[in-house]
Amino acid sequence: MSISKTVMERNMGEKQIKTKRGFATKKEALQWEREFLQKQSKDINMSFSAFVDIYSSFGKAGSGA
């Protein structure tokens, strides 16, 4: 079982550690970490599936109609 630990910087320069456990392989953990960092950076150079995940999360948050 693999673990992914990511250190990211928040708004005021404070660091936050994000940990996720339960991956079957190290390859899966690294793939999740790469996609997570892309979503956090909101960079245009991301996979299409990551873009769709971000886009669909906006629809779920604002679907009050």
Q: What percent of the chain has pLDDT over 90?
A: 0
Q: What pLDDT does residue 36 have?
A: 80
Domain tally for the chain? 1
The whole-number average pLDDT for the span 16-42 is 82
Cβ–Cβ under 8 Å, residues 18 and 3: no
Residue 19 has pLDDT above 80, yes or no: yes
Task: Tell me if the pTM is above 0.75.
Answer: no
**Main-chain dihedrals φ then ψ at residue 11, nearest 5 degrees:** -55, -50
Structural domain that includes position 32: 2-61
For the stretch 37-63, pLDDT in tens is 777 776 677 778 777 877 787 766 555
Buried b or exposed e, range 39-51, using 16+ CB within 10 angstroms = eeeeeeebeeeee
